[in-house]
Structure 1
Amino acid sequence: MDPVILQLIARIKIRLRQEKAVVLNTQRFFSDPVYAFQVLDAAEDCEDIELVSSSLDIRNRLGWIKSGNIENLLPAKTQKSAPAPQNGPETERYMFGARS
């Protein structure tokens, strides 16, 4: 097990006990993914920024947060597409400088 993940779990365990009176069972955390998600969700509902960031860091290190382009998550209607190039006299006009 990665020592960084163990340190993050220890921080979350202590902070959750102080903030929400939730006791984290570390063995169950690593063997039961449903329990792990419940604990991390409870940690993210707190006002403590370190607790929230530690929870997100654990999710990231364990591969539970998938990185990708945010554009792929949007529905097809809301995705912005590049405007089609226009071939005509409008695109060739000089727009800077003095005009007559």
Structure 2
Amino acid sequence: MDHATLQTLARIKIRLRHEKGVVLNTQRFFTDTRYALQLLDLAEESEDLELVTAALDIRNQLGWIQDPIMPTAAGRAPSFGATQTPQGSANTPANTGRYVFGARS
């Protein structure tokens, strides 16, 4: 474990004890993933901003936060819930109100 991760865990441990009355077992935190995730979930439900950010920081430091979805091979990121129009369909009924490439007859 690096020093930054241990410091972050120490902040979480102290704040959880003061805020929620929960005692964090450090050895179990690093050996039992289910226990660690339950405690981090509990920390994230807090009203204490520092406790929430420390919980998110340690998730990130331990690699438990996934990277965002990268763009596809075509160079566009996948859309979530939005409909995609095929290229070359600028004259579809949904797009008739926009000015496209000059005057029309």
User: Which position in structure 2 is the counterpart of 1:32?
Assistant: 32
> How far off is 1:52 after superposition?
0.2
The 3-state SS of whatever aligns with 2:22 is coil
Q: CA 1:40–1:72 in 2, change beyond 3 Å: closer, same or farther?
A: farther
Q: 1:85 Cα shift?
A: 2.6
Question: Using the alignment, how far apart are the partners of 1:41 and 1:61 within structure 2?
Answer: 16
Listed one character per residue, the Cα deviations across residues 44-84 of structure 1 (whole Å, up to 9, x for unaligned) are 0100000000000100111100011396583xxx1342553
Q: Which residue of 2 aligns with 1:42?
A: 42
Q: Distance in 2 between matches of 1:56 and 1:73?
A: 26
Equivalent residue for 1:93, pick from 74, 77, 102: 102
Determine the structure 1 residue equivalent to 2:53.
Answer: 53
Distance 1:72 1:13, change over 3 A: farther
Gapped regions of structure 2 (runs ≥ 5)? 71-76, 92-98
Q: Which has the higher helix share?
A: 1
Unaligned runs of 5+ in 1: 96-100
Taking only aligned residues, the RMSD between alpha carbons, in angstroms, comes to 2.7
Identity %: 51
Report the CA distance between 1:86 and its aligned residue: 4.2
Aligned residue type for 1:92:
F
1:81–1:60 CA distance, 2 compared to 1 (3 A): same
Correspondence for 1:98? none
**What residue is the counterpart of 2:94 in the other structure?**
none
Distance 1:62 1:44 in 2: 16
The structure 1 segments of at least 4 consecutive aligned residues displaced by more than 4 Å after TM superposition are 70-73
